[in-house]
Amino acid sequence: MSNVFEGFLSTPEILEAFGERNFVAAMLRFEAALARAQAALGLIPEAAAQSIIGTCKADLFDAAKIVRESGRAGSLAEPLVRSLKETVGLFNQEAVPFVHLGCTSQDVIDTAMALVTREALLMIEADVQTSIAALCQLAERHADTPCLARTLMQPASVTSFGFTCVAWVAPLTRSMKRLRATASHALQLQLGGVVGTLSQMQGRGPEVAARMAAELQLGVPQAAWHTQRDEWVALGCELGLLSGSLGKIARDISLLGQFEIAEVSEPSEPGRGGSSTLPHKRNPVACMAALAAAQRTPQRVAALLAAMPHEHDRSLGGWQTELAEWPQLLMSVHGSARAMAGALPALRVDAQRMRSNLDAVRASLPRAVADQWFAPALAQHASQLTLAQLARLRKTS
């Protein structure tokens, strides 16, 4: 799932969320909810359900072994269900035939992925909201702080740093709104049985699904989405957009933080951004993590899109590709969100340096050009726009 460099660019929390034990625990939650719903509807004996539910505890299972065996089995669910049946049989042999009744491997894995993804999205949202709050404060504080606007990497005209901060935060607020809306459709129970028809549930499949979804707090799909991946991949696309917006902020801050410009800088503390050779260096490590994510996530999203043409009623390779790419996408996005959430609240802004850079460009221009494009009125106009846009963002977010 991860290596030393993946951990370097991500967070311990997201690595744990997609770790072996947590994912197996999510799969067991599915199995317990399935048994509980089927017993409530009379599809399996209550005693069997209680044996299954009581056994669906992650501590009773060797998650690492289940993962190791999944390669040979071709599915993570097969060794888990086999181990679950063996463990249930130790306590109640008569309950074994009712384990995993009427469903299939993709049901348990997709549902577990939805459960773990929900955890990951909560982490991402918390960190992005920290960045949004910090940027809104910076925009308000520096609404009338004049600075140099740059187009095509060259000096352009005067703006305000607050106006720049609004341009950074607006895509984040839009992204969070879209992400919540998309997640409300994508985070659904998967339950279809071997070919999506729930044929082994005696016509009670939709009721089982409704009960399971309520217990797991997931949406109830109109039908099994074994090969209908549009809403799920749409969530992946939104995550890619969020990563790009965080990367845009990181790109600008890293450029503005260069020694020759020195208008903003990441917070500094012992052990942060140091060089193994040059003691004077303070590298922008938060920007580095966000930029690395912005460069990696497009490939993850592209892989999800490429995997969408599933064959018939169950995919051979496409779904497995998606499963492998999905955690990596979430890990990158959360690494980016956490990095910027750590940097933006304590971002150092040098208003004097901004004014100095602005005056240097202005002094290099003919008087008429300087008066036209660098007049104080232009900075004031940017300030007014900043406060107006900030008010709209706060109203709609």
Catalytic residues: 275, 314
* Amino acid in the structure at residue 296: R
DSSP assignments along 288-315, one per residue: HHHHHHHHHHHHHHHHHHHT----TTS-
Give me the residues paired with residue 147 across strands: 159
Q: What number of other Cβ atoms are within 10 A of residue 273's Cβ?
A: 17
Phi and psi at 199, nearest 5°, equal: -65, -20
The set of residues, in sequence order, having a beta carbon less than 8 Å from that of 28 and lying 6+ positions away, is 56, 57, 58, 61, 80, 84
Structure tokens at 341: 């959430």
Phi and psi at 159, nearest 5°, equal: -140, -165
Angle between helices 161-186 and 230-256 in degrees, nearest 10: 160
To which H or E segment does residue 347 belong? none
How wide is the angle at C-alpha 260 spanned by C-alphas 163 and 145, nearest 5°? Answer: 25
Q: Tell the burial category of 111 from Cβ atoms under 10 Å away from its Cβ (0-12, 13-18, 19+).
A: buried
CA gap 199, 210 in Å, rounded = 16
Separation of CA 99 from chain center: 33
The beta strand positions in the chain, using DSSP E, are 146-151, 154-160, 264-265, 348-349
Q: Judge contact between 76 and 104, C-beta under 8 A.
A: no
In angstroms, the Cα distances linking 220 to 189, 213, 292 are 6, 6, 36
Residue tagged 């912005």 (tokens): 294
CA gap 110, 90 in Å, rounded = 28
Q: Judge contact between 118 and 159, C-beta under 8 A.
A: no
